[in-house]
């Protein structure tokens, strides 16, 4: 295992979006490094059950809060993960999604400026849109349709990055921006509509796996444990390491390969059906993670099969508990 930068024990960390899939894993990892954590969330797409294992942990507290409303925050580090991430969720109320990204990030940056906190932004590979450069390097400016159905998320996150770098340039705020590529694992919502959760649930329930288009589009899937390791390493890196830094697993799969692997690992008899490809669906996506390796010594370690096995076990346990 690489020697990754670590947080200082005793630091107080504020995590917006703490009840979500990534946020709840991040809370666990930050606590494991000896910090105290305040988790904030409006429970829009997150679940308080993702945090129930911390109920009696004195080092953790939770506050129900919508980041669209300004709030004073006393912390050494503020992470901003508050934003619906699945296309189904962010497209359900696109104006709210845009407000969350733009006003939410602005409010948290202002809070960081007031309290002198370091600020870590969960940005996304979606800033590259449907990329014309492959693999995607941080120097690529992207290919986003600004008026399409994904724009509320893509452009919201692009504006959020702009705000981070403008706070850095104008008032010297200590910022760090991670561009996260498709991440999966336990605590994903079974009905969030993403490829991994859909395929696993469909396979376990004996329903057809729904491939949008011909399944030749590609994604690079990162296991959640790897990803939160990268986020924490970035947060602990020296001041001046601002990013943006790509974080993801560079091994690229066609969606049809993912579906077949899920069928094999679940031993499911489900078949595969093809449905129309949503508009602006990126054709290919693979991170160049050279910068994360050079600056942080970070790279993912969990291969897709191993990560999927853990994810399948999580969804299977949820199904068994509900019968
Ligand atoms: P998620 O939907 O599980 O988590 C988002 C959390 O933010 C939820 O708990 C939700 O309730 C909360 N939230 C939403 N709007 C809010 C608001 N206005 N105020 C307070 N809380 C709010 O999604 P996730 O996959 O855990 O993603 C977390 C972050 O990482 C997001 O910012 C997302 O854009 C980013 N990201 C995720 C991925 C991925 O593959 N999971 C990829 C790229 C970027
Ligand atoms: N996808 C699919 N079937 C599904 C859900 C998603 O074929 O049931 C496709 C989707 O069109 C996209 C890819 O899988 O090409 C990844 O989709 P996801 O929503 O997981 O993430 P994102 O589009 O944000 O990369």
Which atom of ligand 2 is nearest the CA belonging to 126?
Answer: 24
Look at ligand 2, atom 18, and give the residue with the nearest C-alpha. Answer: 194
What letter does residue 50 receive in the DSSP assignment?
A: G
Annotated active-site positions, please? 153
Asked whether 286 lines ligand 2 (CB < 6 A), one says no
Tell me the best of 219, 249, 282, 286 to mutate to test the pocket of ligand 2, counting ligand atoms within 8 Å of each CB and taking the most: 219
Which pLDDT belongs to residue 105? Answer: 99
Residues 160 and 82: beta-carbon distance below 8 Å: no
Ligand nearest to the CA of 187: 1
Token pair 């949503």 is at which residue?
278
Mean pLDDT for all residues in the chain: 97
Question: Distance (Å, rounded) from C-alpha 314 to C-alpha 110?
Answer: 38
pLDDT digits (tens, 9 = 90+) for 160-219: 999 999 999 999 999 999 999 999 999 999 999 999 999 999 999 999 999 999 999 999
Which ligand neighbours the alpha carbon of 89 most closely? 1
CA 96 – ligand 1 centroid, Å: 13
Question: Is the pTM value of this prediction over 0.95?
Answer: yes
Q: Work out the end-to-end distance of the chain between its first and last CA atoms, rounded to an integer number of angstroms.
A: 40
Q: Is the CB of 252 under 6 A from ligand 2?
A: no
Mutate to test the pocket of ligand 2, among 84, 195, 287 (most ligand atoms within 8 A of CB): 195
* Burial group, residue 8, by CB count within 10 angstroms (0-12, 13-18, 19+): exposed
Alpha carbon of 176 to those of 41, 121, 150, 231, 240: distances in Å?
A: 21, 6, 24, 10, 8
Convert the pLDDT of each residue in 220-255 to its tens digit: 999 999 999 999 999 999 999 999 999 999 999 999
């Amino acid at each position: 295992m690489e020697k990754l930068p670590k947080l200082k024990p005793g630091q107080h960390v504020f995590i917006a979006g703490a009840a979500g899939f990534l946020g709840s894993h991040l809370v666990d990892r930050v606590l494991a490094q000896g910090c105290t954590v305040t988790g904030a969330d409006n429970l829009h797409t997150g679940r308080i059950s993702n945090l129930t294992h911390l109920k009696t942990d004195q080092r953790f507290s939770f506050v129900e809060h919508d980041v669209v409303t300004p709030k004073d925050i006393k912390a050494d580090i503020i992470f901003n993960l508050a934003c619906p991430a699945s296309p189904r969720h962010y497209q359900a109320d696109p104006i709210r999604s845009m407000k969350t990204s733009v006003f939410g990030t602005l409010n948290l940056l202002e809070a960081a400026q007031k309290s002198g906190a370091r600020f870590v932004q969960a940005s996304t590979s979606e800033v590259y849109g449907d990329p014309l450069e492959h693999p995607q390097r941080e120097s690529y400016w992207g290919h986003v349709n600004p008026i399409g159905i994904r724009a509320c998320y893509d452009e919201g996150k692009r504006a959020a990055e702009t705000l981070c770098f403008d706070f850095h340039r104008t008032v010297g705020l200590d910022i760090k921006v991670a561009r996260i590529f498709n991440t999966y694992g336990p605590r994903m919502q079974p009905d969030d509509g993403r490829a991994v959760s859909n395929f696993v649930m469909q396979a376990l329930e004996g329903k057809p796996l729904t491939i949008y288009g011909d399944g030749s589009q590609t994604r690079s899937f990162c296991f959640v444990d790897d990803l939160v390791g990268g986020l924490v390493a970035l947060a602990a890196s020296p001041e001046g390491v601002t990013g943006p830094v790509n974080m993801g697993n560079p091994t690229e799969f066609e969606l049809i390969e993912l579906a077949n692997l899920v069928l094999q690992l679940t031993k499911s008899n489900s078949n595969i059906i093809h449905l129309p490809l949503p508009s602006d669906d990126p054709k290919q996506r693979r991170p160049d993670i050279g910068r994360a390796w050079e600056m942080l010594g970070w790279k993912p370690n969990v291969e897709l099969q191993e990560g999927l096995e853990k994810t399948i076990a999580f969804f299977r346990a949820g199904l068994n508990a509900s019968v």
